[in-house]
Each structure stands twice: as C-alpha cells, then as structure tokens.
Structure 1
Amino acid sequence: MTYKFTIIVPVYNEEDNLERLETELKNYLKIASVPTSVLFVNDGSSDNSKALIQSICERNEHFDFISFKKNCGLSAAIKAGFDHANSELVGYIDSDLQTAPEDFNLLLEHIDSFELVTGVRSNRKDSFVKNVSSKIANGIRRAFTHDGMDDTGCPLKVIRTANAKRIPMFRGLHRFLPAMILLQNGRIIQIPVRHFPRLAGKAKFGLWNRLLGPLMDCFAYLWMKKKYINYEIEKSSK
C-alpha cells in the first residue's frame, strides 16, 4: 500500500497511554482523509513502552516503529521520524493524547496550499502555570522569529516531507518548525484544534523547558538563520 501521510509518534515512558493511543490511532486510520501510516519513535524509554510498541506494531499492519538506544529528546525523535518517512506528507502527535488524531483531517484540508499546517490549541486544559509559561515562551519566540504562530508547542502538525527533511534539527528546535519552513520560503498556517487534559503518565516538560530553555534556543535559531543555506535549481541536464 502506498501511503500519502505518515504520523510520527515520539514516545518516552508513556506505557500507561499506549493502549488507548493504539485504539485512537486505529480509529483515525479508518476515517483519515488520505492513506495514512503510523511510525512510533521510542526515545529510549526506561519503562515498558518499547515492548508495548512492538506488540502494537505486530498486530497492526499500518503501524511501524524505530527505537533509540538511549533517550535523545523530542527533537531527535521528530528528526528521526522525518528521516524515515517515505510518504508525501508527514506529521506528528504526542503520545499523551492531549490532542486528537481526528483533527489531522482539519490540517490536511489546507496542506495543498501550504508547506506546513500547525494546530493551535483552543481552550487548553492545562494548569495555570503551564498555560502562562507557554504564553510567555511563545511570545519570546515570536519576537525572535517573527513567524506569527501563537502555539508552536502544539503537538499536531502536518508538513510536506520534502521540506521536513531539509530542516536541520538540533535539541529544542521542534519549537521552531514553522520558522524553519519560512527559511525555506515555505508557506505556513495555524488551524484551531481541540485540547484535552492528560489522563495518564507524567508531563516531560517543566518550567525550565517552557521558559529558560526556549529562550536559549532562540539564540541557537538566530545562529541557524544566519548560516542557513537555501537554494532553488533553475535548470538541470537530468
């Protein structure tokens, strides 16, 4: 079967969410607007996530996985997914199911006119501290990148795979995917999606990850922007 869309699912110590995640993704594949596959990226989990992922992939023909030897972080997991995807489109969703796979269809409606379509979480179901820190972090990032995005931390995105593979990833750069598409002269848009409270497992990001970490990453992005090479081939003999 030829897939048009690959959903990357980074996983780090999410054993309590994986069975429900399997059910939600299986249900989505039945209603997906394009032929879709799922690619789990086990980010060196120390719980039973790896074994559960293997079992899930064995009983679902449209599911595959790769597994890191050790924990490398969310950006590395997303980058590995981009590198291994063979479909025209690629996206990702967090394994905590605070966003709904069904909302990928909302994003896919717009991908023909854009290189990246990202969700923006409406009516967020997070704690006051998490919401405020995320708003501050997004404000800082917008001041550096001028990408116009309100919620780059939303774990629901669809990207043209050719553009995704050209994104140079380093730790923390998952927050800058829209900005990196803009560096390629790509078009981006944000679409409201649903948001839900976390029902199981533990959040992997704390105050440092949401405020001070992103601030430091902004300086890394400015360096990357200065050094970024973008070219277009006008003519070729082949």
Structure 2
Amino acid sequence: MNYEFTIIIPVYNEEDNLERVEKELKDYMAICTKKAKVLFVNDGSKDRSQQLIEAICQRNENFSFVKFAQNKGLSAAIKAGFDYADTPLVGYIDSDLQTSPEDFNLLLEHIDKYDLVTGVRADRKDSFVKNASSTIANGIRRAFTHDGMDDTGCPLKVIKTDYAKRIPMFKGLHRFLPAMILLQNGSIVQIPIRHFPRMAGTAKFGLWNRLLGPLMDCFAYLWMKKKYINYQVDKIG
C-alpha cells in the first residue's frame, strides 16, 4: 500500500495499555502526514500482551507484530523494529503513551531536512527523582557524545530508515541514537513535544537504568566511536 512510515512500539508487560494504544494510533494514522503503519515488538512479555497484540493486528490491516522468544530489553526491541521496517521512515513511541502519537507530525515536519528528529519532553510529568536522574544522565551523555541533545531518552523519534538500519545496536544504545546518526555524518534536531503521566502499567526503568547504567554505556559508545566504520560509495562499475 506504499507505506512511508513505520511506527515501532516496543512492548513489555503492557496489557493494561494496549487497547488505548490501538485507539490512539488508529486516530493518529487518520491525520498522519505520511502513510503510516504500526509494528509492535513484544519483548518477551509474560502477561496477556501477546494475546492482545494478535487481536489488534487481526482487526487492523496496518498493524503487525514481532514477538521475541524471551525478554531482551528495549534496545533489542528497537533494533528489531529497525530490522523489520520496510518504509523510508521509521519512528518509535513507548507503549505507556506518556508521549502523544499526534506529536509525530511535529517531528515529520523536519525529517526532510534532517536524518533524525527527536522529541524533547516539555514540562515532564514524572517524579522528582526520575526527572533529576534523567537530567543528570543526559548531561553525562552530552559530555561524552557532544550531540547537543537535551533529552536523548525521549521515546518519540523519527529516523530515515537507511540511517537506522546502519546503527550497530548494543544494549543501552537506544539512549545514543542521535550520537549514532552523527557518526554516520547525519544531521539531527530536537523538537519540543508534550508529556503526560503514565496512565497504567509500571515503569521498566529505575535509578540504575537511568543513571548508573547509562554512565557505563558511555564508555561503550566511546569504544564504538573509535572503531566505527563509515564509508560512502562514490561509484560502482
């Protein structure tokens, strides 16, 4: 159907959110500025998420899914989405819907000029500890990556798929997507978006995931930056 945009939705034990995800994504696709489809990536959920995902996909032709055999983490789920995407553009949004699908249109306005457009959450509706740890972690990442991004963990992004597929993903790399685009000599920009409280389910990241883990990942990024191979083909005979 000449789809232009694949929206990846990583899922891990989100049974209480999935019917709302279906409704909001269906509503959004009616106003999306690109011909869009949805790809659920079930990261080994242990609740009823897979049953609900399959029912959603059966009644919506532009919804599909990939199911992991076991839990592998958010970076793996995003990578699987990149691997299975077959559209020129790919984006992702968390299944807790603390960001709005409608704000994809704000990002899509800029994707012709940039290779990655990421949201930056304005007026975040999270706890003081979560906000503070995220602010510190983002500062640490900026110091290591020099990507200039204020909110690399924002779960609303649009990327040109050929760039996304060339990202050598590792655990924790979902926080470094802008920096990985820069390694490809790509261009990036951040756009303010709305943020909402979590309505159902539980957060999957604690203080370790948000602060100490990302600090360790920064050293992995520096190693990758030093070893990263980037080339452009000038001519083929």
Measured against the shorter chain, the TM-score band is over 0.9
Residue identity opposite 1:2 in structure 2: N
Distance of 2:233 and 2:61 partners within structure 1? 38
Residue identity opposite 1:168 in structure 2: P
Residue identity opposite 2:193 in structure 1: V
Residue 90 of structure 1 and its aligned partner are, at CA, apart by 0.2
Distance of 2:80 and 2:122 partners within structure 1? 29
Distance of 2:184 and 2:190 partners within structure 1? 18
Percent of aligned pairs with the same residue?
77
- What are the superposed Cα offsets for residues 72-93 of structure 1, whole Å, 9 maximum, x if unpaired? 0000000000000000000000
**Any gaps of 5 or more consecutive residues in structure 2?**
none
- What are the superposed Cα offsets for residues 141-166 of structure 1, whole Å, 9 maximum, x if unpaired? 00000000000000000000000000
1:36-47 paired onto structure 2 within 5 Å: 36-47=36-47
| CA RMSD after TM alignment | 0.3
**TM-score, normalisation: structure 1:** 0.99
* Secondary structure of 2:71's aligned partner: coil
Residue 28 of structure 1 and its aligned partner are, at CA, apart by 0.3
Q: 1:202: which partner in 2? A: 202
**TM-score, normalisation: structure 2:** 1.00
1:15-94 paired onto structure 2 within 5 Å: 15-94=15-94
Q: Does 1:98 align with 2:98?
A: yes
- What are the superposed Cα offsets for residues 10-56 of structure 1, whole Å, 9 maximum, x if unpaired? 00000000001100000001000010000000000000001100000
- What are the superposed Cα offsets for residues 147-206 of structure 1, whole Å, 9 maximum, x if unpaired? 000000000000000000000000000000000000000000000000000010000000
Distance of 1:4 and 1:199 partners within structure 2? 30
Residue identity opposite 1:131 in structure 2: N
Residue identity opposite 2:229 in structure 1: I
Displaced runs of 4 or more, over 3 A: none
- What are the superposed Cα offsets for residues 219-238 of structure 1, whole Å, 9 maximum, x if unpaired? 0000000110000111112x
* Secondary structure of 2:112's aligned partner: helix
1:1-238 paired onto structure 2 within 5 Å: 1-237=1-237
Distance of 1:222 and 1:22 partners within structure 2? 39
- What are the superposed Cα offsets for residues 109-133 of structure 1, whole Å, 9 maximum, x if unpaired? 0000000000000000000000000
Number of matched pairs? 237
**Any gaps of 5 or more consecutive residues in structure 1?**
none
Residue identity opposite 1:114 in structure 2: Y
Distance of 1:35 and 1:100 partners within structure 2? 18
